[in-house]
Structure 1
């Protein structure tokens, strides 16, 4: 992402500016290991293999974002997403994670606004979907507040119940369908 593109994303965020010393960027393959570490250290996400994060940073970089520390150029937060193949107007947010040292600064909201603005401009999305487990209050707040800022409705339904997961103790995944998307107010 060029500096001009980053400035455009920030301008569209309005309320949700990147915290000082961080910048919004498109992930690169070389970021895969750092993204995997952030996901692992979150202790809340279902951790995928390191290989999956490398592939994600290669194949889905256009629908994902990282926050980079401007002094080290290292990712400190990320959102992975993809366009649903059978619904090309829908962005699915797969994972959101912020390094512990950067939590509580509004970084997840800034990343989400930046990602949606970027993908809306490039691909014309009008809907966002994500799944959230019932015990993940932080993600519930993040996506509910996002919908409110965008003037969108949130429809919730269980997408995958707990019995569908092969491991014991996995909570159900509740689908949040957020639409229609408008610019942040």
Structure 2
């Protein structure tokens, strides 16, 4: 069965604004197993880090969001903090489109690498970043970065640092 294009609404990607902070807080809550941040943190992600974030809207709803930043000690690297895609935005390659939209921005003109952290069991994130690396013609390497016991007090699974690059948007 083919889908009826008249029943689909395009997803619009745009730079976040501080008005998205509350909606981002709600989106993350609706996307387990994502770790929630404080609403204030979400407001900062949508304002201070807007140049390295992306909001995805469909029918006026926030259906996707990526927060990221360029670490001061690594001006060639975009660190992706969190990727959230609501079920209303799934199945359309939205997460990878959002990643590419960020690295294509002027703010990422000097970015040649992308980093993020992922738990070992987060298959969707591993697939996303492996696919992104392939599309960018870049290498992907990883190692344990935040250890369950040493860094999370045994309360959270270890996180692996993925580094993708070099690439040229």
| Match in the other structure for 1:178 | 164
CA contact (8 A) 2:148 2:154 kept: no
CA distance in 2, matches of 1:29, 1:68: 15
Across the two proteins, how many residue pairs are aligned to each other? Answer: 161
Deviation at 1:122, TM superposition (A): 4.6
CA contact (8 A) 2:55 2:65 kept: yes
C-alpha deviations, 1:64-95, integer Å up to 9, x for none? 001112x42x3210000000110111000000
Deviation at 1:37, TM superposition (A): 0.9
Root-mean-square deviation (CA), in Å?
1.5
Segments of structure 1 that go 5 or more residues without pairing to the other structure are: 1-18
Superposed counterparts of 1:1-185, under 5 Å: 20-69=9-58, 71-72=59-60, 74-118=61-105, 122-163=108-149, 164-166=151-153, 168=155, 170-183=156-169
Deviation at 1:109, TM superposition (A): 1.1
Greater than 3 Å deviation, 4+ residue runs = none
CA contact (8 A) 1:82 1:92 kept: yes
- Compared CA separation, residues 122 and 176, structure 1 to 2 (3 A): closer
CA distance in 2, matches of 1:138, 1:108: 10
3-state SS of paired residue (1:42): coil
Segments of structure 2 that go 5 or more residues without pairing to the other structure are: 1-7
- Compared CA separation, residues 63 and 166, structure 1 to 2 (3 A): same
C-alpha deviations, 1:28-67, integer Å up to 9, x for none? 0000011111111111111111111011111100110011
C-alpha deviations, 1:116-147, integer Å up to 9, x for none? 1115x653210100001011000000000000
* TM-score, normalised via structure 2 length: 0.90
CA contact (8 A) 2:115 2:164 kept: yes
3-state SS of paired residue (2:22): helix
More relative contact order in 1 or in 2 (CA 8 Å, sep 6+)? Answer: 1
